[in-house]
Structure 1
Amino acid sequence: MSDPTEAVEARRVLASTVAAERLRIVATLIRRTGDWDLAEDAVQDAVASALTAWAQRGIPDNPGAWLTTAAKNAAVDALRRAETQRRTASRAAIEAAVDLDVQQSPASAPDLGIDAFGLMDDDRLRLIFTCCHPALPMEARVALTLRTIAGLEVAEIARAFLVTDAAMQKRLVRARAKIRDAGIPYRVPGPEQLPERTQGVLAVLYLLFTEGYSGGAELVRVPLAEEAIRLGRLLASLLGESPLLPEVLGLLSLMLFQHSRAVTRLDAAGDLVLLEDQDRSQWDAAMIGEGVAALAASESARRRFDGVVGPYRLQAEIAKQHATASSAESTDFRRIAELYAQLARVAPSPVIEINRAVAVGLAEGATAGLALLDAIDDPRLDAYHLLPAARADLLRRAGSDAEALPHYERALELAPSDPERRFLARRIAALRGEESV
């Protein structure tokens, strides 16, 4: 292939194929060999081979099957070089298993079957639950999810979490060693463990999302929020008809609603823009529409399984009220306050009580909201900047600027990010009648 335009097309097709098939190939190789590094290296080798082969000989008819075969061959070659009895046995298993994958090409995927709990028997689902196993520290779960499932490079993950490449590599090595040494099974948990374990998976995905959504400029090159949404879609598709589906779809819709406003959260100078002041015409309407559809599907699945409304689903309902309101003034804060009250019963938290108090303050008046804030007594909030910030805002709305000032100052002392500190400094300057900083 000498035509530059054909070479560009080969790279485009390869990128698309890797995005669609990489996780499936890696998951199958891990299951058959038990070697995480081998699986990832084999796929990397296959991609490198494709870059050369497709440029010289053209794009294959079935790019996914070609890449699967190349990764299998790379893994087999590595096993052969190792020359151990265990790896020889693994080689035979991997050849048989992945040859079957090639015969049942990605274009016509095999019937994976549904177990008694409604879950698809899929290697990708096994890999997700293994990466998020509760025996691993949360930092290890996050790192493995980004590296093995999302396919991010070690350097990208290290930049995201502000550590060196070497430190992140060691974290990944320790996590894989823990899986091996502790005998963590490579499987989907049984029905009795599945609800709790799925909540653990969702917690990892939401942590990834919040790191990407609220992490600021240092995370611009690693779109963690987008990866979390993509993995949320994948998890929903893999779960099949399961009682767990409503909460997975609830988390997906929550992330979509929140991320639809991402471009309006900061102004051109990098300063924080409150929700009520954001330009709603710039919100991502398609993403909001997908969030509405996911939330409707969540409710439909909940009714089929006669399940309860979970915390992610309730948070998604709250986010929907904001995302679909035409203006801040038309937002149904009374409904939001009711939803926060339900959420507080399902997943009690002092932070939820703060949010409920603010919603009540906006629905019924600042005095009602302040009364609820006064009732919150939790030492965990002593260093939480949003508690004094919420109190200050309600006092300001009530016209008590002098009383609001010390609470804004306290919030400024505790604020964790530069955009929040600059916002609070402007509020303080305005209350003092000073020129904005």
Structure 2
Amino acid sequence: MNVADVQEAITQAHREEWARVVATMAKRFGDLDIAEEAAAEAFATAVERWPADGVPPNPGAWLTTTAGRKAIDRIRRESRRDDKQKEAQMLYDDDPPEPLGAIDDERLRLVFTCCHPALAMESRVALTLRMVGGLTVAEIARAFLVQESAMGQRITRAKAKIKGARIPYRVPSAEDLPARVSGVLAVLFLVFNEGYLATGSDTDPVRHDLTAEAIRLTRLIRALIPRDGEVAGLLALMLLIEARRAARVSPSGELITLDEQDRAAWDATLVAEGHRLVRERLAAGEAPGRYQILAAINAVHTSARDARDTDWSQVVALYDQLVRLDPSPIVALNRAVAVAELDGPEVALAAVDRLADKLADYHAYHATRADLLRRLGRGEQSRAAYDRAIELAGNTAEIASLTRRRDHL
């Protein structure tokens, strides 16, 4: 069975159940392959039966029960799994739905299992996005800017490594947390990013199920290690971005950029919580990490009552700090956007053009160039850059926004 194809077939209304079912199956059977296959088969059965039979009163319990049966059927077919078959048989049919309070722990265990330090960092992130975030292989590949086939192989190898190394399905002890938390945070940030601006053309442009889940799991991590500055920084970053969600997409389905958003529509409670976390980290007097700096940048943006009041010199200074920690082309591109507001579009365009070799297939690179060229009055070149950005973008709301800008040249 092609798991990615099955996941694509799941209706948006029930896709958030994916991680819960996978987590429950992983806990019950201790095998990520079985967990994912069982969840995929349960969802495939739902896609086939629910249109005719109707959605059951408790879709989550139905999916969990069906997945359990599918897993047992698979174990029965594998004679070398006698012990697991006996254990699973004891749970067959009579296993009641788990209370909601246990879901948090299950998901957390699954995150930490996938983020074991025995795996390479990129493999940890990719596997967790697949198993916990429910992202398709294609979506994950787009997040990493790699080919889908290469990403599929990476995820397969990661699951094999977990099985071969007999990595336990549990939240690690307090002493083990520092070795895993960086991978966990990277995963949660990418899950959040996929929800904040979905890369797939056949999903909602903004997926609140993913952003809410990433925030919820980050809160759990913060409860485990409350003094970790990067955990607090990531939570603050997510909250300050999530606060703008209601203002990000127009009624017509077009993405609204930060400078055009109705700031009165921002969630003041989330903004206040994010700002408080940023202030706490500043008061701690420790050297900030990547997520703390990103949170501080967003705090500057959300402190301005109007886009024209943004303190761009502070934003650029923060990006200068970030570049020293993370000299990636994406960070350099975002810094150039801020430089354009401080030093003008011509200076920014020179910085952006230096990234051409590294970001040639990244739609945001071409969108940024298009806007800078527009501001410089180079309409024909701007139109060509917009065309390339539209060709590479997968988000329908972003495509609509880019198309409008191009057509208004």
Work out whether the TM-score is over 0.5: yes
Contact 1:132 1:145 survives alignment (8 Å):
yes
Q: Label 1:307 to 1:156 Cα distance change in 2 as closer, same or farther (>3 A).
A: closer
Match of 1:123 in 2: 106
CA–CA separation in structure 1 for the residues paired with 2:371 and 2:214: 34
The match for 1:233 among 203, 215, 218 is 215
Q: Does 1:322 align with 2:301?
A: yes
Q: Which runs of structure 2 are paired with 1:131-280 in the superposition (5 Å)?
A: 131-133=114-116, 136=119, 140-141=123-124, 143-152=126-135, 172-191=155-174, 194-195=177-178, 197-208=180-191, 210=193, 219-221=201-203, 226=208, 228-239=210-221, 240-242=223-225, 243-244=227-228, 245-253=231-239, 255-256=241-242, 262-263=248-249, 275-276=258-259, 278=260, 280=261
Q: Label 1:106 to 1:332 Cα distance change in 2 as closer, same or farther (>3 A).
A: same
TM-score (norm 1): 0.60
Query: How many angstroms does 1:49 deviate by?
Result: 7.5
Match of 2:265 in 1: 285
Q: Label 1:260 to 1:311 Cα distance change in 2 as closer, same or farther (>3 A).
A: farther
CA–CA separation in structure 2 for the residues paired with 1:166 and 1:387: 24
Query: How many angstroms does 1:106 deviate by?
Result: 1.4
Q: Which runs of structure 2 are paired with 1:329-368 in the superposition (5 Å)?
A: 329-344=308-323, 347=326, 359=338, 362=341
Contact 1:340 1:356 survives alignment (8 Å):
yes
Q: Label 1:289 to 1:167 Cα distance change in 2 as closer, same or farther (>3 A).
A: same
Q: Label 1:313 to 1:294 Cα distance change in 2 as closer, same or farther (>3 A).
A: farther
CA–CA separation in structure 2 for the residues paired with 1:387 and 1:77: 48
Match of 1:106 in 2: 99
Q: Label 1:124 to 1:93 Cα distance change in 2 as closer, same or farther (>3 A).
A: farther
Q: Does 1:417 align with 2:399?
A: no
Q: Does 1:88 align with 2:82?
A: yes
Contact 2:195 2:207 survives alignment (8 Å):
yes
| Residue identity opposite 2:265 in structure 1 | A
The match for 2:32 among 31, 36, 44 is 36
CA–CA separation in structure 2 for the residues paired with 1:255 and 1:153: 24
Contact 1:337 1:359 survives alignment (8 Å):
yes
CA–CA separation in structure 2 for the residues paired with 1:45 and 1:220: 21
CA–CA separation in structure 1 for the residues paired with 2:54 and 2:366: 64
Q: Label 1:139 to 1:388 Cα distance change in 2 as closer, same or farther (>3 A).
A: closer
CA–CA separation in structure 2 for the residues paired with 1:97 and 1:307: 50
Contact 1:254 1:316 survives alignment (8 Å):
yes
The alignment covers a number of residue pairs equal to 382
Superposed CA deviations along residues 1-31 of structure 1, whole A, max 9, x for unmatched, are xxxxxxxxxxx9x966x745x5344224324
| Residue identity opposite 2:211 in structure 1 | I
| Residue identity opposite 2:220 in structure 1 | L
CA–CA separation in structure 2 for the residues paired with 1:223 and 1:330: 28
- Higher-Rg member (1/2): 1
Q: Which runs of structure 2 are paired with 1:348-427 in the superposition (5 Å)?
A: 359=338, 362=341, 417-418=389-390
Query: How many angstroms does 1:246 deviate by?
Result: 0.6
Please state whether the residue corresponding to 2:307 is helix, strand or coil.
coil
TM-score (norm 2): 0.63
CA–CA separation in structure 2 for the residues paired with 1:302 and 1:391: 34
Q: Label 1:89 to 1:392 Cα distance change in 2 as closer, same or farther (>3 A).
A: closer
Which consecutive residues of structure 2, in runs of 5 or more, have no partner in the other structure?
Answer: 1-10, 394-398
CA–CA separation in structure 1 for the residues paired with 2:119 and 2:327: 25
CA–CA separation in structure 2 for the residues paired with 1:27 and 1:192: 24
Q: Label 1:373 to 1:68 Cα distance change in 2 as closer, same or farther (>3 A).
A: closer
Superposed CA deviations along residues 107-129 of structure 1, whole A, max 9, x for unmatched, are 5x36x9xxxxxxx8x33222113
Deviates more, 1:235-244 or 1:89-98: 89-98
Please state whether the residue corresponding to 2:305 is helix, strand or coil.
coil
Superposed CA deviations along residues 151-201 of structure 1, whole A, max 9, x for unmatched, are 356687789999998887655434322332354454444545534532223
Query: How many angstroms does 1:318 deviate by?
Result: 1.8
Q: Label 1:15 to 1:295 Cα distance change in 2 as closer, same or farther (>3 A).
A: same
Please state whether the residue corresponding to 1:102 is helix, strand or coil.
coil
Q: Label 1:28 to 1:83 Cα distance change in 2 as closer, same or farther (>3 A).
A: same
Contact 1:147 1:154 survives alignment (8 Å):
yes
| Residue identity opposite 1:90 in structure 2 | K
CA–CA separation in structure 1 for the residues paired with 2:340 and 2:57: 61
Query: How many angstroms does 1:232 deviate by?
Result: 1.5
| Residue identity opposite 2:234 in structure 1 | V
Match of 1:295 in 2: 274
Q: Label 1:255 to 1:197 Cα distance change in 2 as closer, same or farther (>3 A).
A: farther
| Residue identity opposite 2:85 in structure 1 | R
CA–CA separation in structure 1 for the residues paired with 2:365 and 2:76: 61
CA–CA separation in structure 2 for the residues paired with 1:159 and 1:384: 13
CA–CA separation in structure 2 for the residues paired with 1:154 and 1:353: 27
Contact 2:127 2:158 survives alignment (8 Å):
yes
| Residue identity opposite 1:150 in structure 2 | G
Which consecutive residues of structure 1, in runs of 5 or more, have no partner in the other structure?
Answer: 1-11, 113-119, 430-434
Query: How many angstroms does 1:292 deviate by?
Result: 1.2
Query: How many angstroms does 1:149 deviate by?
Result: 1.3
Superposed CA deviations along residues 36-89 of structure 1, whole A, max 9, x for unmatched, are 23223434555648967x9599747xx7566545544443343234333xx222
| Residue identity opposite 1:295 in structure 2 | G
| Residue identity opposite 2:315 in structure 1 | I
